[in-house]
Amino acid sequence: MPVDCPIHPATPLPPTELVDRLTKLATSLVSDVFGRWAGAPGLLPVAGLTTGQVVAGPALTVRTRPGDNLVVHKALDLARPGEVLVVAGGGQTDRAVLGGLMGQYATTRGLAALVVDGAVRDQADLAALAPPVFATGVSHLGPYKDGPGELRCPVALAGVAVADGDLVIGDADGIAVIPRARAEEIVALAEEKRSAEEAERRAIEAGTWDRAWIDAALRMVELP
Ligand SMILES: O=C([O-])CC(=O)C(=O)O
Ligand SMILES: [Mg+2]
C-alpha cells in the first residue's frame, strides 16, 4: 500500500548572483549580522567539503520519520540544480538516512550540498562522489524505506526553522539559514561585516589592532 507524501509548491529559485555572493561569505559572518541566531547547532561537515570551501543555495526541505529515507529518495528525484537538500530527521543519529549511492545520485541531480539533521553513512563514498555533506552524526546502520514524510514543508533543522527556498550557507563551521524574504538584506550586512573584518586583519598585521575596549570593560584585580 503506498503511503501518502504531502508536497508543498516549489518556491521560485533565487537569483544566481545572490547565491554567488553568499559563497563568498562565511557562516560566522551571516550569523553575526543575524542576531548570532542563524546557526543550526551540531550540524558539521562530514564529507566532501574542501578547505576554505563555502556552499550555498536554496533549501529543498524534507521532513522524514527518523531513521527512514523513503521521502529523501523522492526529494532527490525532484531536486532542481543548485538546491541544498535539507533533511529534518529529528536529530536521531542511531540510523543513517543517506549514504554513498544517494550522494552520487545527488551529484547527478546538481544539488549544491546535502544537510541532514540525523545520520549519514558511507563517508568515503560521500567524500569521493557526493556534494559536500553536513550531518549531526554518522552511523553504518541503514535506513528503513517505509515513510511517512513530507516535502517542501517548513521543518526544524537542529532547532532552527527552515522553509523551502530559504537560503542555506555551509562551511567548515557548519550551517546557517537565512529566511528567503530577508536574504538581500542579510547578505549585504554580512558583506559589510566582511569588509570590517578585513580592516581588522590589516590592523593586526600592522600592530595597530584596537585593544582599548577590553581595558574599558575589565577592572583588573591584582592578586598578592
Ligand atoms: O540504503 C540507503 O538508502 C542509503 C545508502 O546507504 C546509500 O545511499 O548508499
Ligand atoms: Mg550505502
Predicted pLDDT at 154: 97
Q: For ligand 2, a single-atom ion, which residues have Cβ within 5 Å?
A: 99-100, 122
What are the tens digits of pLDDT across the range 84-120?
Answer: 999 999 999 999 999 999 999 999 999 999 999 999 9
CA–CA gap between residue 169 and residue 25 (Å, rounded): 9
CA distances from 174 to 14, 103, 204, 206, 216 (A): 22, 19, 26, 31, 33
Residue 67 annotated as binding?
Answer: no
ipTM here = 0.98
Is the CB of residue 91 below 6 angstroms from any atom belonging to ligand 1?
no
> By 3-state DSSP, what share of the chain in percent is helix, strand and coil, each rounded to 5?
30, 25, 45
Is the CB of residue 104 below 6 angstroms from any atom belonging to ligand 1?
no
CA–CA gap between residue 187 and residue 82 (Å, rounded): 18
User: Which residue ranges in the chain fall short of pLDDT 70?
Assistant: none
CA–CA gap between residue 92 and residue 149 (Å, rounded): 15
The minimum-distance atom of ligand 1 relative to the CA of 102 is 8
pTM of the model: 0.96
CA 159 to chain centre: 13
Could you count the other beta carbons within 10 Å of the beta carbon of residue 145? 11
- What domains does the chain contain, in order, with CATH numbers? 16-203 (3.50.30.40)
Is the CB of residue 99 below 6 angstroms from any atom belonging to ligand 1?
yes
